[in-house]
Chain A
């Protein structure tokens, strides 16, 4: 059984249909990369999974059980199982680093504060920010903020971590510290769905590549296939373009 299965998923912004029947699967412990040209609908896929955009058709199944995004209880369940890290970090500006990481586990999940704080300290050390507990987001660099955002998502103990172009807003010299954090997570066996334009990184960590174009998945498979011997013309064209860069 697939850990996550997305079946014929469609979604729209008003009259504009941006997902036209997306299909892909994710196994436990897998790091899948969602790639494709800008505007192809990658972010929308993650947003629909998190219940931030409404699907207009299709199905999302976790461990074989379908999520019904029209029911609040199902949306809550989806957010229990998955956590997302955004391109712009979106740390709460009014909270310290530690509070950003602990607020949801304590206030939303009702776990004991002491226990959550200990875990938060461990997670912050893991992303290399053990000394920044009491800093506020606007005192940190973009790379540091993004690593806090990853720690915040991990503190929710998600089964699947969604990362949406988490290095795109960063200065080039800060990209590697964040990629290192993700490498560590992949090595730990975290199940991840990563939207990324860092093709070298995708080839290195991804166990599966899903390529999208114009609201559809054009090809999916192991990175060697997608980058080495793409089967479809559209995939070949896109790979040719990015390899020339």
Chain B
């Protein structure tokens, strides 16, 4: 069925774009925190990227990507364009979430690692990330979920996608109320379980590592 296929496309675009965006944002935050004079241009670029793309509406990003890519290569799928746009946008957005998470780790934890000769990267991977992902993941997941709805915007540039399908069906003579009612319901079906999962993650991550280890050791006694 057309609507189901469009639903799959929406989910796929959001998932790929957000996961890629998250990974790139992670690298950008690391670069942004590079100390020293020689890294000044890197820091400047990283800050510009985040500040600029966070302030542009998503629709504008889509058009920019569309025209930029089209001006270089003519044969490129709209799916790719959508994923690139989502990726660019989610990179800028999650970079701030990740930075906030990293900064929630106390300076003493980082100094303890540095005093034991951990490099900046080793400190990040062994101390900062394990301590900050409980802070980072819930808002990052919430962002990705809210983005499912924004992906509808992509239909503006022609990707076969939920809302777009709806317009088509509507034009073919189906009742508007029925079609858009169905679409609203499908959006709900997609985002409700995901947001429940997000909340569950949040609660689970709120418990300390030692509590989690106990849950692992004694599953029968855990609530």
Contacts and interface: CB of A to CB of B under 8 A. Distances in A.
Interface string A190-210: 000000000000000000000
Nearest to A93: B131
- Size bracket, chain B contacts: 10 to 19
A136 B208 contact: yes
Interface stretch (B13-21, B22-30, B111-119, B183-191): B111-119
Given A93-B209, A135-B210, A136-B210, A104 B109 contact: no
B6 interface: no
A94 B112 contact: no
Given A79-B115, A103-B126, A108-B117, A92 B109 contact: yes
Interface in A62-98: 76, 79-80, 83-84, 86, 88, 90-96
Nearest to B130: A94
A131 interface: no
B115 A108 contact: no
B112 A92 contact: yes
Given A107-B122, A136-B209, A92 B117 contact: no
A108 B209 contact: no
B209 A94 contact: yes
A60 interface: no
A35 interface: no
Contacts of B109: 90, 92-93
Contacts of A6: none
Contacts, number: 61
B108 A108 contact: no
A94 B116 contact: no
A88 B108 contact: yes
Contacts of A79: 115-117
Contact of A90 (B112, B117, B118, B122): B112
Given A90-B111, A94-B130, A104 B209 contact: no
Contact of B118 (A84, A108, A136, A138): A108
Contacts of A150: none
Contacts of A96: 213
A116 to B, nearest CB: 13
Q: Is the interface of A mostly helix, strand, loop or mixed?
A: loop
Nearest to B125: A107
Interface in A108-149: 108, 134-139
A103 B122 CA distance: 11
Given A94-B131, A139-B210, A107 B111 contact: no
B187 to A, nearest CB: 37
Contacts of A135: 210
Contact of B111 (A52, A93, A94): A52
Contacts of A136: 208-210, 213
* Residue of A76, A90, A91, A95 with highest tally of chain B CB at under 10 A: A90
A226 interface: no
Contacts of B131: 93-94
A135 B209 CA distance: 10
B127 interface: yes
B122 A108 contact: yes
Contacts of B114: 51-52
Contacts of A51: 114-115
A138 to B, nearest CB: 5
8 closest pairs, A vs B, by CB? A136-B210, A90-B112, A94-B130, A104-B116, A79-B117, A90-B108, A50-B115, A139-B210
14 contacts: A50-B115, A51-B115, A52-B114, A79-B115, A84-B115, A86-B108, A86-B112, A88-B108, A90-B111, A104-B118, A107-B122, A108-B116, A108-B122, A137-B210
